[in-house]
């Protein structure tokens, strides 16, 4: 079965330069053949990057660990689909994004059943509690404090280099909503970050 | 947000570390989950093969019946549908308590099928028996995995499914031959 991970085009971005076809490294081939030790090496090499992505997308260390774990299990199950058309790290990032978004959709469905609301923006909740104007806050913490929707769009656009069209497709929202969430995220970050 | 503010934010984003290792080593949990996933894949393969062959056997038996009813039709050759039997190297694990109900149903259906066996051509009986053996092997594979990992609900569900496949196969064979 083809998933969005296999069809998503690589996009150019400052954070994620487009990769030339790199072929399949021997270690990946070994893992594709079922070599768990080879996959462990892949895990060790990539876990920091995948965890960083999950942590920034969820804003929650505990959830980030669970998502990272799930991303590697999913990667193992789908490794046969990796054709070497992008770097393995790029492919793993796509798997992790898919895992986080799938989990988020499941959470939204659960909340929808309980809350019965047609305004999903409400599920983002109010803007987070902001630090006092004189306090200093690092960007990482500020991103974690963003409302769910704004944070995911910010991380995907600014850090992972997705386009608004890609974000819109993955989140099931309009491109303009993605742009609005990015604008909201930047505005909130500007307020809490003091140079 | 002004261009200057946006550039400043962009610079800060670019300075973010590419890697943030988790607070603990997640590999043991990942390895456990992968092993569970492999286990299930083994069972799914065995069950999928058994289900496919059981369905094929039912069709083969049906075509065989039609062939008997309408002279000139091609009867199904067992060599087409039956793979070579695999030698059994170890005694199968004993059934689990939750298989009792299935075994009871199987005994009843088997008794009914045995009464009709005489009307089966040897080739048709061979198709049925070979496929029942394949389903039995799938049951044994799944049962062994359930014994080893009783905490895995998906494996238990798979055991239910493969038993239902077996009972369906016997039921279909019995019904087809009771029409004759």
First-to-last alpha carbon distance for chain B, in angstroms, is 84
DSSP designation for A129: P
A14 Cβ under 8 Å from any chain B Cβ: yes
**CB atoms inside a 10 Å sphere around CB A153:** 26
**CB atoms inside a 10 Å sphere around CB A186:** 19
Please state, rounded to an integer, the average pLDDT across all residues of chain B. Answer: 75
Residue B109 pLDDT: 83
pLDDT at B172 over 70: yes
Output the DSSP codes for A147-195: -HHHHHHHIIIIIS---HHHHHHHHT--HHHHHHHHHHHHHHHHHH---
Burial A103-132 (b: 16+ CB within 10 A, else e): bbeeeeeeeeeeeeeeeeeeebeeebeebe
Between CA A79 and CA A127 the distance in angstroms is 39
Between CA B26 and CA B29 the distance in angstroms is 6
The pLDDT tens digits of the residues spanning B43-56 come to 777 776 666 666 66
Residues in B touching A62 (Cβ below 8 Å): none
pLDDT at B73 over 60: no
Segment B1-28 mean pLDDT = 90
Task: Give yes or no: residues A120 and A146 share one domain.
Answer: no
Lowest mean pLDDT segment, chosen from A46-60, B70-84, B102-116, B118-132? B70-84
Which of A77, A140, A186 is facing B37, going by the closest CB pair? A77
Task: Give yes or no: residues A138 and A163 share one domain.
Answer: yes
Query: Could you tell me the residue range of the domain that residue A166 belongs to?
Result: 128-195
ipTM of the complex: 0.74
Let me know if residue A149 belongs to a domain: yes
Let me know if residue A29 belongs to a domain: yes
Name the residue with tokens 């929650």: A60
- B34 Cβ partners below 8 Å, 6+ apart? A36, A39, A73, A76
Between CA B40 and CA A116 the distance in angstroms is 36
Interface contact flag, A68 B29, Cβ < 8 Å:
no
Task: Give yes or no: residues A115 and A143 share one domain.
Answer: no
Let me know if residue A98 belongs to a domain: yes
Task: Give yes or no: residues A78 and A157 share one domain.
Answer: no
Let me know if residue A192 belongs to a domain: yes
Give the end of a domain, one of A102, A124, A146. Answer: A124
Cα separations (Å) of A162 from A59, A181, B3, B108? Answer: 19, 14, 21, 61
The CB-side HSE value for B8 (13 A sphere, CA atoms) comes to: 13
User: Hey, is A143 helix, strand or coil?
Assistant: helix
Question: Could you tell me which of A8, A172, A75 has the C-alpha nearest to residue A67?
Answer: A75
Task: Give yes or no: residues A180 and A192 share one domain.
Answer: yes
Chain A nearest-CA residue for B14 = A15
Residue B62 pLDDT: 56
Task: Give yes or no: residues A92 and A180 share one domain.
Answer: no
The pLDDT tens digits of the residues spanning B129-142 come to 888 888 888 888 88
Task: Give yes or no: residues A133 and A104 share one domain.
Answer: no
Q: pLDDT higher for B78 or A38?
A: A38
First-to-last alpha carbon distance for chain A, in angstroms, is 48
Chain B nearest-CA residue for A193 = B9
Task: Give yes or no: residues A137 and A104 share one domain.
Answer: no
Residue B57 pLDDT: 64
**CA A59, chain centre distance (Å):** 11
Between CA B180 and CA B167 the distance in angstroms is 21
Task: Give yes or no: residues A38 and A112 share one domain.
Answer: yes
Residue A131 pLDDT: 44
Task: Give yes or no: residues A100 and A141 share one domain.
Answer: no
Task: Give yes or no: residues A111 and A143 share one domain.
Answer: no
Exposure of B57 by Cβ count < 10 A (0-12 exposed, 13-18 middle, 19+ buried)? buried
Let me know if residue A80 belongs to a domain: yes
List residues of B whose CB lies inside 8 A of any A CB: 1, 5-6, 8-10, 12-24, 26-27, 29-31, 33-34, 37
Domains: count for chain A: 2
Let me know if residue A6 belongs to a domain: no
pLDDT interval class at B179 (50, 70, 90): low
Residue B1 pLDDT: 73
Let me know if residue A77 belongs to a domain: yes
Burial B88-107 (b: 16+ CB within 10 A, else e): eeeeeeeeeeebeebeebbe
Task: Give yes or no: residues A103 and A145 share one domain.
Answer: no
Segment B102-121 mean pLDDT = 81
Consecutive 10-residue runs of chain A (195 residues): their mean pLDDT? 38 38 81 93 97 95 95 93 90 94 82 55 48 60 92 94 92 93 93 73
CATH code at position A183: 1.10.10.10
Residue A114 pLDDT: 62
């Amino acid at each position: 079965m083809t998933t969005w991970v296999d069809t998503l085009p690589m996009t150019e971005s400052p954070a994620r330069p487009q990769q030339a076809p790199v072929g399949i490294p021997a270690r990946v081939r070994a893992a594709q053949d079922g070599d768990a030790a080879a996959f462990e090496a892949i895990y060790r090499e990539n876990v920091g990057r995948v965890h960083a992505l999950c942590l920034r997308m969820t804003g929650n260390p505990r959830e980030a660990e669970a998502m990272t774990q799930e991303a590697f299990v999913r990667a193992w199950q789908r490794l046969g689909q990796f054709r070497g058309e992008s770097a393995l790290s790029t492919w793993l990032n796509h798997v992790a994004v898919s895992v986080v978004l799938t989990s988020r959709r499941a959470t939204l469905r659960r909340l929808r059943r309980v809350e019965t609301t047609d305004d999903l923006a409400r599920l983002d909740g109010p803007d987070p509690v902001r630090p006092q104007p004189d306090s200093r806050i690092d960007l990482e913490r500020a991103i974690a404090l963003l409302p769910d929707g704004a944070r995911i769009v910010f991380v995907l656009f600014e850090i992972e280099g997705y386009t608004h069209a890609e974000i819109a497709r993955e989140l099931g929202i309009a491109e303009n909503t993605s742009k609005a969430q990015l604008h909201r995220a930047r505005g909130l970050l500007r307020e809490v970050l003091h140079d | 947000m002004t261009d200057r503010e946006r550039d400043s934010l962009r610079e800060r984003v670019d300075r973010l570390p590419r890697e943030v290792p988790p607070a603990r080593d997640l590999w043991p949990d990942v390895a456990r989950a992968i092993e569970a996933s492999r286990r299930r894949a083994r069972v799914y393969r065995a069950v999928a093969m058994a289900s496919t062959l059981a369905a094929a056997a039912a069709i083969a038996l049906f075509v065989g019946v039609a062939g008997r009813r309408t002279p000139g039709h091609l009867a199904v050759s067992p060599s087409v549908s039956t793979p070579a039997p695999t030698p059994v190297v170890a005694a199968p694990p004993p059934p689990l308590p939750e298989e009792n109900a299935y075994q009871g149903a199987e005994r009843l259906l088997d008794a009914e099928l045995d009464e009709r066996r005489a009307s089966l051509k040897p080739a048709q009986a061979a198709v049925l028996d070979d496929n029942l053996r394949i389903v039995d092997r799938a049951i044994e594979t799944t049962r062994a995995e359930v014994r080893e990992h009783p905490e895995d609900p998906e494996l238990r569900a798979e055991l239910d499914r493969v038993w239902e496949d077996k009972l369906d196969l016997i039921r279909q064979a019995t019904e087809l031959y009771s029409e004759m």
